[in-house]
Structure 1
Amino acid sequence: MFRPDEQLILPARPVDPPAPGFPLIACAAPLVVAVAIWMLTGSTFVLLFAILGPVIAVGSMVDVRRTRRRTRIRAEQTHRAALAALRTKVEQQRTSLVHAAWSRTPSATGILSDPIGTVHWSARPPAPVLVSLGSGEVPSGLRLEGAAGPDDEPGIRALAATLTGAPITADPHDGIGIVASSILGRALARGLLVQVAAALPPGPVGLAVLPPGPWAWAASLPHAAARSPVRLITVCDTGSAIGVPAGSRSLVALARCLEELPTGCDTIVRLHGPTRAEIVRSPVHAVGLCFRPELVTLDQATGFAVRLGERARTAGLVGRYGAVPTAVTLAELAESDRAAARSSLPGTAAGTSRMPGLACAVGAGEAGTVILDLVAAGPHAVVGGTTGSGKSELLVTWVAAMAAAHPHDAVTFLLIDFKGGAAFRPLLALPHCVGLITDLDGRQAGRALASLAAELRYRERAMLSAGARDIAELNRAETRSNPLPRLVVVVDEFATMLTAFPELHALFVDIAARGRSLGVHLILCTQRPTGVVRDALLANCNLRVSLRVNNRADSQAVLGTDAAAALSAAVPGRCLVYAGEGDPVLCQVATTTEDDLRAIIGRGGDKPSPRRPWLDPPPRRVTRSDLAAVEKADAVTGREPGGPATGVLLGLLDEPEHQRYRVARYDPERDGHLLVVGAGRAGKSSVLASVAAQYSVTAQVLDPRPDVESVWDTLAEARGSLDAGSRNALLILLDDFDSVYARWGDEHRAAALERLTSLLRDGPAAGLFVGVAVQHLSGALQALPAFCQSRLVLRMPDVGAHVAAGADPAQFDAALPPGGGSWNGARIQLLQQEPGAVRPPPGREPEAVVGDTLAGHRSLLVVAGSPARTIAALSAAHPGEIVNLSTGASVEAGRLKVLADGGAILVGDTDTWQAQWSLLGLLRPHTAIVFDGCGLADFRAISRRRDLPPPLAPGRNRVWVLRPDGVVVRATLPVPR
């Protein structure tokens, strides 16, 4: 098998080894030895061995020569085999190169024998296209490495240097001149024209013959009907340059002598006969190169032209009744005959300011301008086309054409592009465009698409209130200055959108079913219509447009015929249009330029902007003025019946399914307890502070600092108020409760949660409500949502935490700004308070030192985890005597009592005080006990109490003080020096 990178190496010629010399020493050595033995022994018999040396030497030489001869024969055989293998390899590579050359440049004979299989029209007009003049010898480009001897197999280098029977090529774009008799010259030119017509597509490439008489058959070629081609092939059979288009380079000229050829022929061929031709001039071949020309008869060319014309019509490159242009602009369509366009659609008036329906000119066909009308032929359309076929250009032109033919109070466009939106972005400048949805923001796309269902309900309500049956009757009966415009939803990559949002298929089926009367129209575009646009949608999509598709099934799905699969890839924008009856119409879609869009924008006038079917996402910062504006609009439209709103302001609710914003309020008596869940810096503290600032105007608010002492005391105070039967409205706000909860010990944690649960359960009946903010709901805190009727979920770190907070996973958005979240299932942006509007969290009450707490007590008993540290802290603040009982010094109990009565401080660890139990019992009724650095076990061992003392904040020298009356309070020791 031929490999382009395979090396061809000539085998080296075998070299004979040098002939060995006579073994003189081997011959003389036995003689010397035999003489020496004879002289020693005197035996003459030994002398017989002397003659063995020469005999052995002669035998060795004979054997060496025999071996050399055999080696030389084997080497020559191996060399001949290598040469034969090399020749075979060279012949294989020559055959492969010749085959590849004919594949790149199919011969006219091959094209005529299989016109369907060899005609692909894959070449573009600007690209060079080579044609074959005939077959001959051309350089192969193969190189043989290594040196060959003079007696090597003859001709192997010459065999590798040339290709026999390869195509002799020329580029018709550079001009080809043929010097021959009329019969031979036309036979060769017909072959060249067959190759050009098979390689280049009609439309972009045209054909002109001078004179037409001998070339009447060429009129059947589809290239002869091309209008304004990009490249023109001219056949000059006049023997002179008269009539050749000025500057023409794609030329095939025939003449009887060189002097009659027109200028511009870079390749000139002289025909000596039907089997022999010669290169006279060529930029690639040697002058004088002889080859066998390829001749085509008139009958062969005529049959080929007819078959190629049918192929071109099947591929949509020319129409049944005439040529279809390969390019047209929207401006050229606007300048075409408007009367002809109006006559093709009765009742329409193209170009008027308010023409019925949505008729517009989108391209050119064989009969003139092609008009599409979503109202008359729709109400919806399906567009199919593979990559590179011109789908995006078709959609842009269709939208621009409707915008040019109808004002923006008659039609609006919602554009959906799941390829990034680059193709549709120029259309955003049109006053008709109400939005562009792309796949770059899936959440915004889902939000906007959800608004479409609300738009259908809005239009239904509008027609119901006007008593109209459809949008046309509504707008005729409408007395307002702003009638309800038609809405055209244009979806590029419909299959990609359904992959991202499969639930939208039901919505589009609903729009397709009700869109005609409601004035909502769909243009659905996809690469693979098969299996994507289902029957429920296709049943209402009567207008079908198909550009080139990859297979017949896709063409059948759109048009009911496989014609779109045969459209050529050489002409982007070529399509077939089916409007529900008759045969599909061949059309070349117009291109839209920036100048076309600017002209449409300039005709917009001073009319107000059209109503949008969807709102922008809520702002990142919501102020009181924003909420006031929304509430005022709700009051005007009557969307919020039921009297004045109550409760504190929370923020702005986004309700795309109702096409509106709404003010969110929190009223504890109506909404119950509040649970706020969110990550750090998501806005939890801000919303609690905002609620506290607003609610404290009319009721009491307990808003403690998020530490173990303040929250515990607040819960205790609230529980005490509840137990006392208080009926005053009270709101308790607990920030970062999960963090505080984690810092409590096990017993305090269980008691605090029980106390909070009792408040959540019993509080509403007494007018007490709780707002709790946490970052995570884990462990025992997972029971909180069951007691909280209202839930605010702010930004969470991941979807798992979002779902654990009880929110819908579809609403998770890691990019939410601070204050963004979900309020009882709806998207909310919280109110951002103006500076100074939020009441700062209440300050802590002054913390008492030991002396302040023990005012009126002269003595003090201290249970210390570290007596030395406690004594160091008390020494600076207490002027009296301090006795360290833990040193082990022997002090009588009576003496200690005297010291205590005199105002001394007695310090000892737990074990010491238990050893002095009688003294402790004697002093306890009238002396306060301080617990410094002690745990619950130490407290209970000394106090003999089972109840929980209040928790102590760590790291602040906080202590418990058990007063003589049995009350446990907190205090703060001085910082030791």
Structure 2
Amino acid sequence: MFRPEDPLILPARPVDPPSPGFPLIASAAPVVVAVAIWMFTGSAFVLLFAVLGPVIAVGSMVDGRRTRRRTRIRADETHRAALAALRVKVEQRRTALVRAAWGRTPSAAGILQDPGGTVHWSARPAAPVLVSLGSGDVTSGLRLEGADPDDEPGIRALAATLTGAPITADLHDGVGIVAAPALGRAMARGLLVQAAAVLPPGPVGLAALPPGHWAWATSLPHAAARSPDRLITVCDSETPAGVPTGSRPLIALGRCLEELPTGCDTIVRAHGPTRAEIVRSPVHPAGLRFRPELVTRDQAAGFAVRLGERARTAGLIGRYGPVPASVTLAELAEADPAAVLPRSPGTAAGSSRPPGLAGVIGIGEQGRVTLDLVAAGPHAVVGGTTGSGKSELLVTWVAAMAAAHPHDAVTFLLIDFKGGAAFRPLVALPHCVGLITDLDGRQAARALASLAAELRHRERAMRAAGARDITELNSAGPRSNPLPRLVIVVDEFATMLTAFPELHALFLDIAARGRSLGVHLILCTQRPNGVVRDALLANCNLRVSLRVNNRADSQAVLGTDAAAALPAAVPGRCLISALEGDPLLCQVATTTEADLRAIVGRCGENRRGAEPNPRRPWLDPLPRRVTRNDLARVETAATTTTTTREPGGPATGVLLGLLDEPEHQRYRVARYDPERDGHLLVVGAGHAGKSTVLASVAAQYSHSGMAAVLAPPPDVESVWDTLAQARACLDAGSREARLVLLDDFDSVYARWGDEHRAAALERLTSLLRDGPAAGLVIVVAVQHLSGALQALPSFCQSRLVLRMPDAGAHVAAGADPALFDAAVPPGGGCWNGARIQLLQPEPGAVRSSPGRGPAAAAGDTAVGHAAAGDTLAGHRSLLVVAASPARTIAALTSARAGEIIDLSANVSAEAGRLRVLADDGAVLVGDTDTWQAHWSLLGLLRPHTAIVFDGCGLADFRAISRRRDLPPPLAPGRCRVWVLRPDGAVVRATLPAPG
């Protein structure tokens, strides 16, 4: 679609090509060549060729002029075609601009021919009201660029003016018509027809008109308005009826300028049926001539009748009187107590107090309008476009029910997927059990999942009381526990289903069973057509529609297209339909904060001190800190309530924490039983609670004395030794139950060398594979599952996923993507598909302690692990393979009193003498190359002397020991060394620091 300011480009005029000059060189060249050949050959015949030069030159000039003429002809044809195309484009734009102008300001003739397509009542009373005085020439606003301003004056004149466009005026500024009486009234009738088609009846009324020529106007729906915000006034100088006090005439007639009243910003003079001119206008130049809009009295009278019928069909002007444009909830309380209630079959028509959940929401043609969600429902659908007053309707409806019923009779669950601002004031009501918004999607999903559990809870309550429905349950007396009705109010139902499409089945279930269970739905959406499915709509007998954008939406809610004709200028105007009868017109009351404070105050005065708070249909989120007292309370509730008792007998295993099960409206204690649940893999980011859960499991098992617990510190030596010890027990055929806890295994794994990593992972997987048959269970905690560690989940029967850095890592750890929460507190995670908060360890709880049996806990001496305080003092003589002999000698000198010999400084020493010294308790120190040079001495001393490897790698160890097996890994930075004992065992020891 083009914009008027988009320029049109005029084609440039063609420029004549330059005339070709005389080809002097081309003429002289043949002459020169012919003379040269004659002089060389002497043949006079050659001179004939000299004549060709002038002939060719003349021919070239003739051909150039012919080509130039053809080029000019083609350029002229192209220019004419471009001008023709531009003219077509200008005509198209002029036509489109004229059509758009008439679309914005329909002519009186167009309104009379098609009132259904041109009457929208969309203008607000205070907004400008443009009407068409007639048709004429106006400035188009089109721009032509790209050529000399003096070029193509015809196209420029064509583009500058729109022919047959509406000559508009703002009716609010007043329009004066100077003409003969009959001609002036015909033109004024056209203006009045246009005003009635644009301005909505009710907020805009029609001032009293003189009888006779203006009697037809009394059929206009605007004439029935009792308290309009704005008046359409007509001042006829021949039959004056007076202008209302304080009102400004919108249409004035006079035979001369002096007869017009003041206040007419636009004045036109009509010279005849086809000729009028502008006398004064804020937008058009004086003297502008146009063809006026004329309407006969019969045409206007027929239009007024049809418009009145349309207003009554749309519910704008009732058969019993008009409906006010606005009303407040406080005014309703002071109004006539007579009420109109849309009824379903079986509702008592003469009841003094509406049954169920009656509440006064607005005012209609017969007085106050009362809606009863129980009698006319049990569910309701509310439709309305943006700005029609949907949120105000819902707030008023909830406030009306809260004012008429105590909180032990009805509660409200408010769901607002527009941010929650509209429903926020309703939270102060004691009836409100929660506000769900789209600002916290996780909390919204959790609360909505609890609704299915709420239905099951109500079914169990009725089954226990032997009641068929909630009415029978609540009337059973003290033998039963009454249940309040739950009203679920959803604003922007379509948006909620887009965010949670799985909820459609849940709302279908509520719609089908809600009547007997006392659960009612009020579903509000902008576009009911196609959003609220037929299966759900069939159970929504109460229909309320504010203004909608098209007839299909009105048909979907009401079964008629009347809601599409409701005025946009009156928010809160709606039509209400129950099972039978015509739609009822209602102006919904507005609810202020003062109204809500008054309702809350009355509820506080009427509440009995012993009344409990209303039951919420879901539990609060898991606490950030879970203690043993919390778990005890949950287990006590589970044992005393049959509806939440866990199957399978008494719970066993260690306490992990608290599980959140919103779909069952309960918390549940999470336990881990190694015999039942197998190996446990704990995955979580740093400070997520991995060490906490391992410490809790170790402490509970250690205190119970049920099994031996091995929980080494997360370092390269302790974890290796623990794996070796567990493997040794399995190889020895031990059947005693053991629990091995490995914390930060991925961190320890990364600090091992390549060969130690491969060996440790092979040993761990063998324990995971063979351990359960021998009573060995492993709990391993990691931060990341990367590389070779990705195979661990396939060996672990249970998995606990704590907080992860991002959703990708959360899913990679095997957790449900829906349970990812970057803001979960430490100790929060996923266990068996549910959200868990881990048990906080008790103060003074030990990290690990030994259980019963021969296996030792972390910190005790294990196979292959020398005591931390061992400084090699127990060895009389030593053979030391050092990466830095000088540093090693300095360390040994400070700790040993015997002789220390540096082999690198005694290369020529005899082997026999060195052997004697070693037998006498000397320490021989050398690097790998030096010892290989003294290989015979090494062979003599090795069978009865320990060999110490200080700072050596695996290659050095294997070169000296001639062994292919792996020595245990050494912790860096602790002066740890390998000691190869004479019996072949490799153990660790601590070398004292130098000095």
State if a TM-score over 0.5 links the two structures: yes
Mapped contact 1:241–1:262 kept (Cα < 8 A)? no
What's the counterpart of residue 620 of structure 1? 624
What's the counterpart of residue 32 of structure 1? none
What's the counterpart of residue 712 of structure 1? 720
1:362 aligns to what SS in structure 2?
strand
Distance (Å, rounded) in 2 between the aligned partners of 1:920 and 1:427: 91
2:974 aligns to what SS in structure 1?
coil
Mapped contact 2:136–2:164 kept (Cα < 8 A)? yes
Distance (Å, rounded) in 1 between the aligned partners of 2:88 and 2:769: 98
For the structure 1 residues 404 and 350, does the alpha-carbon distance in structure 2 shift closer, same or farther, using more than 3 Å as the test? farther
Structure 1 residue 206, shift from structure 2 partner: 1.5
**Superposition RMSD on alpha carbons, in Å?**
4.5
1:128-151 deviation digits (Å, cap 9, x = unpaired): 1133344567778899999999xx
Q: 2:920 aligns with which of 891, 902, 906?
A: 902
Mapped contact 1:883–1:904 kept (Cα < 8 A)? yes
More displaced 10-residue stretch of structure 1: 332-341 or 835-844: 835-844
More displaced 10-residue stretch of structure 1: 92-101 or 670-679: 92-101
> Does residue 610 in structure 1 map to residue 610 in structure 2?
no
Q: Partner amino acid for 1:705?
A: P
What's the counterpart of residue 132 of structure 1? 132
1:112 aligns to what SS in structure 2?
helix
Q: Partner amino acid for 1:229?
A: P
Equivalent residue runs for 1:611-650 within 5 Å: 611-634=615-638, 637=641, 639-640=644-645, 647-650=653-656
> Does residue 752 in structure 1 map to residue 760 in structure 2?
yes
Q: Partner amino acid for 1:654?
A: D
What's the counterpart of residue 545 of structure 1? 544
Structure 1 residue 852, shift from structure 2 partner: 4.3
Mapped contact 1:182–1:256 kept (Cα < 8 A)? yes
> Does residue 691 in structure 1 map to residue 697 in structure 2?
yes
What's the counterpart of residue 919 of structure 1? 937
For the structure 1 residues 961 and 250, does the alpha-carbon distance in structure 2 shift closer, same or farther, using more than 3 Å as the test? farther
For the structure 1 residues 876 and 389, does the alpha-carbon distance in structure 2 shift closer, same or farther, using more than 3 Å as the test? same
Distance (Å, rounded) in 1 between the aligned partners of 2:280 and 2:878: 125
Mapped contact 1:342–1:349 kept (Cα < 8 A)? no
What's the counterpart of residue 224 of structure 1? 223
What's the counterpart of residue 680 of structure 2? 674
Distance (Å, rounded) in 2 between the aligned partners of 1:904 and 1:666: 57
Structure 1 residue 448, shift from structure 2 partner: 0.9
What's the counterpart of residue 670 of structure 2? 664
2:487 aligns to what SS in structure 1?
strand
Mapped contact 1:211–1:236 kept (Cα < 8 A)? no
Structure 1 residue 707, shift from structure 2 partner: 0.5
> Does residue 443 in structure 1 map to residue 442 in structure 2?
yes
Distance (Å, rounded) in 2 between the aligned partners of 1:324 and 1:837: 74
2:213 aligns to what SS in structure 1?
helix
Structure 1 residue 454, shift from structure 2 partner: 0.6
1:555-576 deviation digits (Å, cap 9, x = unpaired): 3333334444444444433333
More displaced 10-residue stretch of structure 1: 216-225 or 912-921: 912-921
More displaced 10-residue stretch of structure 1: 843-852 or 952-961: 843-852
> Does residue 378 in structure 1 map to residue 382 in structure 2?
no
Aligned pairs, how many?
918
Equivalent residue runs for 1:530-929 within 5 Å: 530-605=529-604, 606=607, 607-634=611-638, 637=641, 639-640=644-645, 647-668=653-674, 671-699=677-705, 701-719=709-727, 731-757=739-765, 760=768, 769-785=777-793, 788-833=796-841, 836=844, 852-886=870-904, 889-929=907-947
Structure 1 residue 736, shift from structure 2 partner: 0.4
Structure 1 residue 782, shift from structure 2 partner: 4.4
Q: Partner amino acid for 2:621?
A: P
Mapped contact 1:491–1:523 kept (Cα < 8 A)? yes
Structure 1 residue 435, shift from structure 2 partner: 1.4
For the structure 1 residues 169 and 786, does the alpha-carbon distance in structure 2 shift closer, same or farther, using more than 3 Å as the test? closer
What's the counterpart of residue 48 of structure 1? none
Q: Partner amino acid for 1:529?
A: P
Distance (Å, rounded) in 1 between the aligned partners of 2:671 and 2:940: 61
2:669 aligns to what SS in structure 1?
strand
Mapped contact 2:134–2:293 kept (Cα < 8 A)? yes
More displaced 10-residue stretch of structure 1: 822-831 or 313-322: 313-322
Structure 1 residue 792, shift from structure 2 partner: 1.7
Structure 1 residue 545, shift from structure 2 partner: 2.6
Mapped contact 1:419–1:493 kept (Cα < 8 A)? yes
What's the counterpart of residue 115 of structure 2? 115
Equivalent residue runs for 1:435-514 within 5 Å: 435-479=434-478, 483-514=482-513
Distance (Å, rounded) in 2 between the aligned partners of 1:835 and 1:887: 59
1:603 aligns to what SS in structure 2?
helix
Structure 1 residue 969, shift from structure 2 partner: 1.9
- In structure 1, the gaps of 5 or more residues are 15-69
More displaced 10-residue stretch of structure 1: 794-803 or 271-280: 271-280
For the structure 1 residues 148 and 766, does the alpha-carbon distance in structure 2 shift closer, same or farther, using more than 3 Å as the test? closer
Distance (Å, rounded) in 1 between the aligned partners of 2:87 and 2:969: 100
1:697 aligns to what SS in structure 2?
helix
Distance (Å, rounded) in 2 between the aligned partners of 1:247 and 1:770: 91
Structure 1 residue 772, shift from structure 2 partner: 1.8
TM-score normalized by the length of structure 2: 0.81
Structure 1 residue 114, shift from structure 2 partner: 3.7
Mapped contact 1:239–1:261 kept (Cα < 8 A)? no
Mapped contact 2:407–2:430 kept (Cα < 8 A)? yes
1:479 aligns to what SS in structure 2?
helix
Distance (Å, rounded) in 1 between the aligned partners of 2:119 and 2:505: 44
Mapped contact 1:421–1:438 kept (Cα < 8 A)? yes
Distance (Å, rounded) in 1 between the aligned partners of 2:710 and 2:819: 32
1:896-931 deviation digits (Å, cap 9, x = unpaired): 112212322212344544554442233223321111
1:139-170 deviation digits (Å, cap 9, x = unpaired): 78899999999xx9999999999887665544
Structure 1 residue 178, shift from structure 2 partner: 4.3
Structure 1 residue 659, shift from structure 2 partner: 0.9
Distance (Å, rounded) in 1 between the aligned partners of 2:550 and 2:796: 59
Mapped contact 1:417–1:437 kept (Cα < 8 A)? yes
More displaced 10-residue stretch of structure 1: 493-502 or 332-341: 332-341
- In structure 2, the gaps of 5 or more residues are 16-68, 850-856
Mapped contact 1:351–1:404 kept (Cα < 8 A)? no
Mapped contact 2:768–2:796 kept (Cα < 8 A)? yes
Mapped contact 2:338–2:368 kept (Cα < 8 A)? no
1:458 aligns to what SS in structure 2?
helix
Structure 1 residue 528, shift from structure 2 partner: 3.1
1:377 aligns to what SS in structure 2?
coil
TM-score normalized by the length of structure 1: 0.82
What's the counterpart of residue 59 of structure 1? none
Structure 1 residue 836, shift from structure 2 partner: 4.8
Q: Partner amino acid for 1:655?
A: E
More displaced 10-residue stretch of structure 1: 224-233 or 912-921: 912-921
Distance (Å, rounded) in 1 between the aligned partners of 2:655 and 2:370: 55
Distance (Å, rounded) in 1 between the aligned partners of 2:945 and 2:233: 124
> Does residue 527 in structure 1 map to residue 526 in structure 2?
yes
Distance (Å, rounded) in 1 between the aligned partners of 2:214 and 2:721: 108
Distance (Å, rounded) in 2 between the aligned partners of 1:456 and 1:504: 14
Distance (Å, rounded) in 1 between the aligned partners of 2:681 and 2:80: 93
1:498 aligns to what SS in structure 2?
helix
More displaced 10-residue stretch of structure 1: 453-462 or 924-933: 924-933
Aligned sequence identity (%): 81
More displaced 10-residue stretch of structure 1: 942-951 or 375-384: 942-951
Mapped contact 1:209–1:236 kept (Cα < 8 A)? no
1:376 aligns to what SS in structure 2?
coil
Mapped contact 1:651–1:831 kept (Cα < 8 A)? yes
Structure 1 residue 260, shift from structure 2 partner: 5.8
1:782-821 deviation digits (Å, cap 9, x = unpaired): 4544554443210123334333333223222233221110
Structure 1 residue 860, shift from structure 2 partner: 1.0
What's the counterpart of residue 971 of structure 1? 989
Structure 1 residue 406, shift from structure 2 partner: 1.9
Q: Partner amino acid for 1:558?
A: V
Distance (Å, rounded) in 2 between the aligned partners of 1:460 and 1:794: 36
